[in-house]
Amino acid sequence: MTLDLNQRTGWPDDLKVLLERYPREVWPAHQNLGQTARFWLQRHDMFRDLGGALRSATSQFREGVVTPPDFQAWFVPRLQFFLSELHAHHNVEDYSYFPLFRLADARLTRGFEVLENDHEVIHDAIAKVAQAANDLLGAMQKDGLQRSADHYANVSDQLLGGLIRHLSDEEDLIIPLILDRGEDKLGLS
Residue 87 has pLDDT above 80, yes or no: yes
Q: Is the pLDDT of residue 88 over 80?
A: yes
With 0-12 / 13-18 / 19 or more C-beta atoms within 10 angstroms meaning exposed / middle / buried, residue 42 is exposed
**pTM reported for the whole predicted model:** 0.93
146 band by pLDDT with thresholds 50, 70 and 90: confident
Residue 101 lies in a domain: yes
Q: Does residue 142 form part of some domain? A: yes
d(CA 125, CA 133): 12
Query: In angstroms, rounded to a whole number, what is the distance separating the alpha carbons of residues 61 and 68?
Result: 7
Residue 104, number of CB atoms within 10 A of its CB: 16
> Within a domain: residue 95?
yes
* 108 occurs within a structural domain: yes
Residue 146: give the domain boundaries: 13-186
> Can you tell me the distance from the alpha carbon of 143 to that of 57, in angstroms, rounded to the nearest whole number?
21
Residue 30 domain flag: yes
Q: Which of 33-42, 135-144, 157-166 has the lowest mean pLDDT?
A: 135-144
pLDDT for 157 beyond 90: yes
Q: How far apart are CA 5 and CA 158, in angstroms?
A: 11
Question: How much is the average pLDDT of 86-103?
Answer: 94
State how far the Cα of 128 lies from the Cα of 138, in Å rounded to an integer.
15
Query: Could you give the number of structural domains in the chain?
Result: 1
Q: What is the pLDDT of residues 19-73, one digit of tens each?
A: 999 999 999 999 999 999 999 999 999 999 999 999 999 999 999 999 999 999 9
CATH number at residue 113: 1.20.120.520
- Whether the predicted pLDDT of 189 surpasses 80: no
Within-domain flag for 109: yes
Determine the pLDDT at residue 127.
Answer: 96
**pLDDT class of 142 with cuts at 50, 70, 90:** confident
User: Residue 167 carries which side chain, given as an amino acid letter?
Assistant: L
Residue 116 DSSP SS3: helix
Identify whether 6 is part of a domain. no
Determine, yes or no, domain membership for 3.
no
- Whether 41 and 179 have beta carbons less than 8 Å apart is answered as no
